[in-house]
Chain A
Amino acid sequence: DAKTTQPTSMDCAEGRAANLPCNHSTISGNEYVYWYRQIHSQGPQYIIHGLKNNETNEMASLIITEDRKSSTLILPHATLRDTAVYYCIVRARSNDYKLSFGAGTTVTVRA
């Protein structure tokens, strides 16, 4: 899997958009970008994934640059419940069944 780089931590004000960057400059053509988050003492929660087009669901939006070397997860209106560690992963879909998370970004949403 391609390596990803994320900032260690970031703060966000409640009600504002949170923009979480991820660098994956060695991504290959068949690798997807996935985002998960893990709230303290809970299991990881899938957020969104994409290949090259921007994606949006009820939780977030995923913006992937045209060269696919980086992406941004956008939480449109952050709430205190969005405080968590956010993980960006790139994976090929073929035979790669093992997930591994890096250090992720610790996001703290402040009132």
Chain B
Amino acid sequence: DVKVTQSSRYLVKRTGEKVFLECVQDMDHENMFWYRQDPGLGLRLIYFSYDVKMKEKGDIPEGYSVSREKKERFSLILESASTNQTSMYLCASSAPLYSNQPQHFGDGTRLSIL
């Protein structure tokens, strides 16, 4: 089975802090994704990576950056956390797009910015 592991289930940080969310997958997937999920707004893509050191902006990249130094690990960085970044953050991974294989998600990190 595919396993996508997010480093924390719950995290509380203060405004202005630099926050790191880590994600590891064990299926040698090329693609990795960071989404946030908010009530009434659904799932929104923040960033996408299709290879080591490669990234593409999603729909809402402002205030975030990402790092992919190794194939299995994809990090999301909140450069200076703000209260409007309080959300559920979801990491996903998948095989190449042409394979029609699904994205697999981690359990999520519920982040609260105070």
Contact = CB atoms under 8 A, between A and B. Distances in A.
Interface residues of B, number: 27
B90 A43 contact: yes
A110 to B, nearest CB: 25
Contacts, number: 54
Most buried by B among A36, A93, A97, A102: A97
Interface of B: 4, 6, 31, 33, 35, 42-43, 45, 48, 50, 58-59, 90, 92, 94, 97-100, 102-108, 110
A99 B100 contact: no
A42 B108 contact: yes
Contacts of B110: 41
6 contacts: A41-B110, A43-B90, A49-B100, A93-B100, A97-B33, A99-B103
A45 interface: yes
A25 to B, nearest CB: 21
A42 B107 contact: yes
B106 A101 contact: no
A96 B43 CA distance: 15
B100 A44 contact: no
Pick the 7 closest A-B CB pairs, nearest first: A43-B105, A93-B100, A43-B108, A46-B102, A44-B105, A98-B45, A43-B107
